[in-house]
Amino acid sequence: MSLEEWLEEGFLKKSQSNPEETGYLLETIRNDFKDCLNPKLSIDWQFKIAYSSILNCGIVALAALGYRPGNDSHHYWTIQSLALTLELDRDIVDLLDDFRKKRNRSSYERTGMITKREANEIIELSRKIQSTLMEWLRKNHGNLI
């Protein structure tokens, strides 16, 4: 499906992006990434903060194209949209979706279920996705940065 089809299905809404909002979100992404590297935080929190930075990357990319997540399952659709916006490999998006589910369980059901390997993996993915987002914005939406 395309983003336009997602809009028709109600998974996305139309939105106007602007440099001020984009700047705020990019600063949030940078701060989240810096914070997730703090070794004084628990592994669970490092994981959740890295996940947050990735989610905001997806929100920025959607906004640049004139969309925002709909009301329901916005984490799911934002993560899935990375395949269409930043053209992330499907395997990476599937891994991010697994991490989305794990973040949800660790937030609402039980702490201590995130491994150090998973935290390191999502932190590295966050680093790569931020880099991809910035290259994509410079190439396609330079007016937003």
The CATH number assigned to the domain holding 134 equals 1.20.120.330
Query: How far apart are the C-alpha atoms of 36 and 38, rounded to whole Å?
Result: 5
Cα(40)–Cα(26) distance, rounded to whole angstroms? 24
The pTM of this model reads 0.93
Residue 62 lies in a domain: yes
Domain count along the chain: 1
User: Does 28 reside within a domain?
Assistant: yes
Residue 24 belongs to a domain: yes
Q: How does pLDDT run across 87-117, given as a tens digit for each residue? A: 999 999 999 999 998 887 776 666 778 999 9
What is the domain extent for residue 48?
3-10+17-140
Higher-confidence position of 1 and 75: 75
Would you say residue 71 lies in a domain? yes
**Residue 145 resides in a domain:** no
Whether residue 40 lies inside any domain: the answer is: yes
